[in-house]
Structure 1
Amino acid sequence: KCLIGPSRPVLGLVGDDVILPCSLQPAESVAEATVEWLRPDLSNSNVFIFRDGRESYQDQNPSFQQRATLFLQQLKNGNMSLKLSRLQLSDAGDYTCKWIKSGSQTSIQVRLGAVSEPKIYAKREGTKVALQCEANNWYPQPEMEWTDGKGNIISHDSNITKNGQYYSVHGTIEVEMTENVYTYVINPSANMMINRPVHIHPLISFFFSVVCQEASSQPIIWAIVFGLLFVISAVAGIVACKRGKSFSFLT
């Protein structure tokens, strides 16, 4: 008998739920065995314990209480995967999945990475716009790519810093202030990839808006000046009417 887990680190977004795979092969019921999930680097390493046909919370690490659980209905199929709810940055690390039965035991290591939602910043520089993506407090070390509307990879300036076990990466591109869609991709080759489009909308000279698509799939206006343009248009319209002249904005 052996335990099967993921070949690469499992990554999860902070606040979301994540599943750490672990299963017995060949498959057989583990409902009568002892299943332990441990974090060896913690003073209280007990993440979740299933013993004597039920969950055991007596010695569980308090930081995992009401957040860690097994798929109890799947134990009969040898599935010992751990579900960790409301992921925290402190959850990142190495986990041990252990199966104990009749005096023998088998275990595997599963690495969990916790990541936070990247932030995007925009700054006008002459006729161009500088777009900066910041992915802070990630584990393990993230990779970043920028692509244009056609999917072509754009070269960018990047900076990676480390604080304890966590990494932060900042990537900046400078683009023309014309209507276009740019996408930043975090961990393009990993089993979890964050992919967010950034829309640039030039309005009139000296004004632009940036719209980012966030994880909730709801568009968020990061920097937009429609209110200011409305006021400018209204004032300019009044002046033009008084003078009896027509006018138009230059783009």
Structure 2
Amino acid sequence: MFEWKKDGRQVFLYDDGGHSNNNNTGQDQQFKDRVSHFPDKLKSGDASIIIRNLKLADSGDYTCNFTNLQPRQTFHIKLVVEPKVIRVDKGRDVILPCSLSTKENITREMFEWKKDDRQVFLYDDGNQSNNNNTTQDQQFKDRVSHFPDKLKSGDASITIRNTKLADSGNYTCEFPLLQQRQIFYIKLVVETTVITVGEGSNVMLPCLLSTKENITSEKFEWKKDGRQVFLYDDGGHSNNNNTGQDQQFKDRVSHFPDELKLGDASILISDTKVADSGDYTCNFTNLQPRQTFHIKLVVVGAAPRPHVRILDQTKGGMLLQCEVQGAFSKPELHWEDGAGNKLPAEEPQETERGGLYDIILQTTVTKTDLYRCNATQKEINHQTHYETYVYIPGKNIDLILAVTVLAVVLALLFVCILYKKYQKGRCQEEEVVYMYATNGEATS
């Protein structure tokens, strides 16, 4: 006999061949018809179970007890059920999936989508929310649709158009009338697209209709914080003497005429400035339904060149300090020696003032060399540096002494060799003179 429980409530009971699915009245209703075991594995001591169609409420602490064994054995499991997470950029369309594993035809069935208990979409035997359904929450009015052609294969997925930040949350797709009631869970996260560039660069802000319909004769308008950035209206645009464009963007914004036929209303901002940072919207005011896309632009100023100075001479070497002031975004500092090896350093000292960063990084060096402090801003792929030469007295005396001694020894050896050659040559000369004298005396 073994028994599975969750928080003290029976999940599944097996007792000598009988089990929860054989009319066991003790099983908690939450798990009715959703739990089964593996009969073929019992002979090998396996009391595992499977829970179908998981729900968020299934999360919790489970125990598997063998009550008749000696000694009694209990196994503990913690189950965490998390909804599927779907992320989408604000203003884009998103599909929330909901499909029966049996792929049975649900054309004549009923399913309902909810968000935080508010109705998002209802389908009931051919009738649906877009047919004058008064129970649909106003937040989703005229923005949600299903896929009629996919109902026959058990697909109850929906599309939410022109997503808003408020659409973020937990969604359920429920089949309340099926023999085994089924609920699917989705977590939707609607995010603002963030584009980060360095000051002085060019940046493209994307705005593309998912339908890719021709917008050559349409109207769209880009705004930043309520001020007009660029307006296009049936061929006319901001660069054609449009007086509504904010002076900040004058002669710096353009669109892509050849891409309009593909539904692309993206723009290019040239020579970006830190003041260009902010929230941008791309609005198609005449489309039905009206569509708005959101972009957050962050223009980062390049970090100034680091300042390096020698703070102190310590017993172990020289203490060097690298400092960057007034940087945005926050750069990373590191020290290198002349060979490009990264040096160990103390923890950086960081202060922030109105979004600008002051950073100090110190390191101790122990040998004479060329040292470099690098400041890197990964967000904009920018790096600057400062180099300084450091002479550490006394550290190379042993080497200098060794070289000097070696030079003296070599010099003495060279002199000795020359001297020996000189002596040998002199002896040979004296021998020749003596022999010449002897020979001369013999002939006289």
Q: TM-score, normalised by structure 2?
A: 0.38
Q: Does 1:170 align with 2:358?
A: yes
* 1:70-107 alpha-carbon deviations (Å, 9 max, x no partner): 12222222222221112122211111111233454211
Cα distance change of structure 1 residues 104 and 183 upon mapping to structure 2, 3 Å threshold: same
- The letter of the residue matching 1:122 is V
User: Match for residue 200 of structure 1?
Assistant: 387
Aligned to 1:63: 248
Relative to structure 1, the CA distance from residue 9 to residue 153 in structure 2 (aligned partners, 3 Å threshold; closer, same or farther) is farther
Say which SS state the counterpart of residue 31 (structure 1) adopts.
coil
CA distance in 2, matches of 1:151, 1:81: 43
Question: Deviation string for 1:141-193 (max 9, x for gaps)?
Answer: x343234556789631111111xxxx10111111235434443233x4xxx33
1:39 is displaced (CA, Å) by 1.5
Q: Does 1:36 align with 2:227?
A: no
Counterpart residue number, 1:123: 309
Amino acid at match of 1:125: L
- The unaligned stretches of length 5 or more in structure 1 are 207-251
Question: What residue number does 1:234 align with?
Answer: none
1:26 aligns to 2:211 (yes or no): yes
The 5 Å alignment of 1:81-92 reads 81-92=266-277
CA distance in 1: counterparts of 2:257 and 2:195, whole angstroms: 21
1:179 to 370, 379, 390: 370
Which runs of structure 2 are paired with 1:86-125 in the superposition (5 Å)? 86-119=271-304, 120-125=306-311
SS in 2 for 1:9: strand
Task: Kindly indicate whether the alpha-carbon contact (under 8 Å) linking 2:302 and 2:382 is maintained by their aligned counterparts in 1.
Answer: no
Residue type matched to 2:332 in 1? E
The structure whose Rg is larger is 2
Matches for 1:9-20 after TM superposition, within 5 Å: 9-20=194-205
Among 17, 24, 46, the alignment partner of 2:228 is: 46
- Normalising to structure 1: TM-score of the pair? 0.65
Of Structure 1 and Structure 2, the greater strand share is in 1
Q: Which 10-residue stretch deviates more, 99-108 or 147-156?
A: 147-156
Superposed CA offset, 1:113-134 (max 9, x none): 1221211211221222211123
Deviations 1:204-251 (A, max 9, x none): 459xxxxxxxxxxxxxxxxxxxxxxxxxxxxxxxxxxxxxxxxxxxxx
Cα gap change, 1:8 to 1:174, in 2 (>3 Å): farther
Percent identity over the alignment is: 17
- Which has the larger share of helix? 2
Q: Structure 1 117/10 Cα, relative in aligned 2: closer, same or farther at 3 Å? A: same
Letter in 2 for 1:171: I
Separation (CA, whole Å) in 1 of partners of 2:195 and 2:287 = 30
Report the residue type matching 1:51 in the other structure.
D
Q: Which amino acid aligns with 1:113?
A: V
Question: CA separation of 1:175/1:198 partners in 2, compared to 1, >3 Å: closer, same or farther?
Answer: farther
The amino acid that maps onto 1:200 is E
Secondary structure of the residue that 2:324 maps to in structure 1?
strand
Matched residues in 2 for 1:69 and 1:151: separation?
Answer: 44
RMSD (Å) for aligned C-alpha atoms: 3.0
> Do structure 1's residue 144 and structure 2's residue 326 form an aligned pair?
no
State the AA in 2 paired with 1:48: F
1:160 corresponds to 2:352? yes
Verify the 8 A CA contact 1:98 1:107 in the aligned structure 2.
yes
- Pair 1:173–1:112, CA change in 2 (3 A): same
Quickly say closer, same or farther: Cα 1:72–1:151, change in 2 above 3 A: farther
Partner Cα separation in structure 1 for residue 203 and residue 211 of structure 2: 25
Distance in 2 (CA, whole Å) between partners of 1:8 and 1:143 is 21
Q: Structure 2 CA distance, aligned partners of 1:170 and 1:203?
A: 25
* Cα distance between partner residues in 2 of 1:143 and 1:8: 21
Pair 153,51 (structure 1): closer, same or farther in 2 beyond 3 Å: farther
Letter in 1 for 2:352: I
The letter of the residue matching 2:214 is S
- Distance of 1:101 and 1:121 partners within structure 2: 55
